[in-house]
A and B are shown apart, each in its own frame.
Chain A
Amino acid sequence: MGLSLPTVAHGEPSFLTSKLDFLVNWARMNSLWPMPFGTACCAIEMMATAASKYDQARFGMERMSFSPRQADVLICAGRVAYKMAPVLRKIWDQMPQPKWSISMGACASSGGVFDAYSMVQGIDTIIPVDIYVPGCPPRPEGLLYGLLLLQEKIRGESLANPALRAEDPARTGKPNLGPEVIEEVAGPFGNSTKQNRVSGLVSTTALTRPNDRKP
């Protein structure tokens, strides 16, 4: 945001910004439009999530946005081959801020069983990821839970933190992680056990992630 908002002290939001945060986050989290990036069987479950029985429109994901320019959250459902990696990165770069991403399923999160020459070992090596949904494939409840977790994450964001939505144009089309980190997370069983490190969290247990779960 280009606004210079009044703050009481460093890192401490004022009455005005906290109320503005509440309003903006309320609007953002309840009108998330997903950009489906379905490459495999996870996409079937994603379609089921959008269909009538589970109906993600209940939570504000009113429609799947098949255009990255009009999307807020990228749902990468399925395995991503190295040949597909520049496409995924380009779609992510085309999405305007504010944007979030969900890595759905074992293959998107860690490469899954495809520890092979052709497969990206976790899309967080390509794009930043906000929510990892485990499962092979996850049930629609799993994806819905991921979307609800994302809503709670958005609720904790603040406009007073410009770094949150900052984007470096020089990073366009570049890997999301450095070479050493990619090597580390892409080892055998790497990305499935190293995601705490990637996301900067100490633990993935929901109870010990206070920033993700604000009442």
Chain B
Amino acid sequence: MAERTFEEGVAGLERGSGGPPLDDGAPRGEAADAASHPSVAAMRERFGAGILHHAVMAGDEHVVYVGPAVVVEVLAWLKDDAAQRYDFLADLTAVDYGGGRPLEVVYQLWSIEHKRALRLKVPLPLDALVIDSVTSLWHAADWLEREVFDLFGIHFRGHPDLRRILMPENYAEGHPLRKDFPLRGRFSRAEQTRRALATPAEEFYTPEELRIGDDETVRPPSPVVIEHAAPPNRVDAPTTRVPGGPTQTEDWSLGTEGSAAGGAPGPSGVKE
């Protein structure tokens, strides 16, 4: 097999031209358009300019790009409309393509009734990483949105309990799945070890679990002081590890590679 460059390899990916032909008669690849997926055509008809863009990925994955302003409206319609009925939120995640490009929130939907899949993507510019929560539509989105917030720093408006889910509560190095996040983290290993062992055991339990054994006496959980400030004694400066990344330490929490401002300001009123 001849060697292909990276650009040649990914060239047909958006159009899906590389996939094998399937025999169900539906147009594939370059021939596929919005008309080949009934939901896409219906969405275009209903929302018009609210639908930014449509693409077919990897043969038959229909991806619809929606603006962040209408995402809850579109998803609610997709879930409840009788002809669509995308009642199963299979996945909710995000992608950082790097290079200053927008982060994309991905909603992977499945209609149990019509046996159809649809993928929604919402590009979010780096200086406005805020999107409405869809926990009102699917309770399954609760932890998925917490994960996206934890690892990408995208804030979900209206989420009932938006806090870190995978990283420790006192994690102050930023959001690890961003492209500008250094592989070994931003603090030195000694500092990471110190912070890890300084985590109080209470953080691993809910207040209900901590009350187990207290029989009748229900006492409020002891307040846990969480250290959020970035310590000054880091070994590796961020500028040496992140070429083109944010240079101000206070930009770590929301900084992203290539953004001109060196990081996005945190939206006001969001629980950090």
Which residues of A pack against B, CB within 8 Å? 82-83, 85-87, 89-90, 115-118, 120-121, 125-126, 173-175, 178-180, 182-183, 186
Contacts and interface: CB of A to CB of B under 8 A. Distances in A.
A127 B159 CA distance: 39
A179 B193 CA distance: 9
B190 A180 contact: yes
Contacts, number: 66
A120 B193 contact: yes
A78 B190 CA distance: 21
Contact of A175 (B168, B182, B193, B235): B193
Interface stretch (B11-19, B126-134, B197-205): B197-205
Contacts of A179: 188, 190-191, 194
Interface of B: 167-168, 173, 176, 181-185, 188-199, 201, 204, 235
Nearest to B174: A117
A90 B205 CA distance: 15
Given A82-B192, A120-B193, A115 B199 contact: no
B197 A174 contact: yes
B168 A82 contact: yes
A121 B176 contact: no
Contact of B196 (A83, A116, A186): A83
A86 B204 CA distance: 10
Contact of A117 (B184, B194, B201, B235): B184
Nearest to A82: B196
Nearest to B194: A175
A126 to B, nearest CB: 7
Given A83-B167, A83-B168, A117-B184, A183 B189 contact: yes
Contact of B197 (A116, A118, A126): A126
22 contacts: A82-B195, A83-B168, A85-B193, A85-B197, A86-B198, A116-B183, A116-B185, A117-B176, A117-B181, A117-B182, A117-B183, A118-B167, A118-B176, A121-B189, A125-B193, A175-B193, A179-B194, A180-B190, A183-B189, A183-B190, A186-B189, A186-B190
